[in-house]
Amino acid sequence: MTPPRLVVPDVSEHQGDIDWKRLVAAHPVVIVRAYNGYRADREFALNRDHAHAAGVRALGLYAYLESDRDVVDQAAEFVHAVGHLRAGEWPIVDCEEGTDSAERVRRWAAYVSRALGYDESWLYSGAWFYSAQHLDKAGIPASRTWLAAYGPREPEAGHALWQYTSHGDVPGVSGPVDCSAFYGTVEQLVAAIRPPAPTQGPTTHPSYPFPAGMHPGGASPSARPLQAALKATGWMDKDIAESDQYGPVTQHAVAGFNRKHGLTSRGVPWDPAIGPRGWALLMSFAYGRS
């Protein structure tokens, strides 16, 4: 017996206004673009809210990965756009260009896993690019792979979702829509996604106001909130014990963060002190708020 084919549309700012009630009534699993490699999708916040209000069963959030930008910067900006994963959501990295792609996907997924508290990111790519760049070596299994190959022939590489057209016609959207096939039921796809519960992820961690007086080498105020945020964003190894002391390991992590985000003083390439601007940026990357 042939399994049922579930159609999963994916949308972005290019679809304009969407009637989410009609769309979700016909397609209870939808994927939305959250980030385009440089910025959040202009319709992401509205699409996300309206999809949940319409009762979507699962919502994929994908981020396009630009080849000419640092992968950690892009992962951090995606996390900032998402804030935290809501119930039924799952992250997807879209890799379609560049070289050393498997390693870039691995780094993106590792950062997002630490920052969002969810270890099962998916991978999207074109079937040809996936094979040419050996993306099966990126650490994301076929059960979490989404491949594009337009036309009647399904990709030969292992996958869970097959994007078979860019000209789908779905209720609630005017104009063509990318559509993918999943061979199974909604319940089976939701089980394969294993979306997080509402309390999973960094929403369980409080944000802290900037601790005036904290400085390298000091222990009062405590450096623990700083260390927790550095761990959440991948700048400090999660296995390192936290302490009140703003010691060498913390200083090294802060210096790297400052350098990456242009927060060092002119002529000072290694600045181990966290300032109010850096603190606010770090907290927004770690917890989706300042």
Instruction: Kindly report, residue by residue over 48-65, the tens digit of the pLDDT.
Output: 999 999 999 999 999 999
Mean pLDDT of 68-78: 89
Instruction: Kindly report, residue by residue over 170-224, the tens digit of the pLDDT.
Output: 999 999 999 999 999 999 999 888 765 544 444 344 456 788 888 999 998 899 9
pLDDT at 290 over 50: no
Among residues 106, 122, 93, which one has the least CA distance to residue 193? 122
Instruction: Kindly report, residue by residue over 225-283, the tens digit of the pLDDT.
Output: 999 989 888 888 888 889 999 999 999 999 988 888 888 766 677 889 998 888 888 88
Instruction: Kindly report, residue by residue over 115-161, the tens digit of the pLDDT.
Output: 888 889 999 999 999 999 999 999 999 999 999 999 889 999 999 99
Question: Domains in the chain, ordered, with CATH?
Answer: 5-193 (3.20.20.80), 206-287 (1.10.101.10)
pLDDT for the residue 172: 97
- The mean of the pLDDT values for the chain is 88
